[in-house]
Structure 1
């Protein structure tokens, strides 16, 4: 079992690492705001947006099952009515 002093030392180290990570994130965000947008076909922001959309789509049936069921019914109905 770890002693109180060891746990406090580990906690201090973890807080320092967290502060360093937060500082690095702030620097990265600041540099992204200052940077000009790139005109690549697949920019990192586009990939991030697609990832967010896919994550939301994966969670949607679990968060709102009634809306998911109604949407599936509506899509099925529309596809069934097409000729």
Structure 2
């Protein structure tokens, strides 16, 4: 797995993000890190299959992804994975 990804537990993620969750990370625990969101959008069975395959190759664990979020299209949902990466200096 690429070493640029940082993993955070739910408690440390809360400490490292702003109240809105959309502002750049600040503070000693988050220096030089950026928040990145990865989206998978499609039919729920296809989305789950992609997430399962990503888990199988070691990219992410299935439990790291959000619960399915409906989109404005019928039979379509999305799931989100939030990661932190080292920022370019």
Identify the TM-score tier after normalising by the shorter chain: under 0.3
Q: Which has the larger share of helix?
A: 1
Higher relative contact order (CA 8 A, sep 6+): 2
| TM score, norm. by length of structure 1 | 0.21
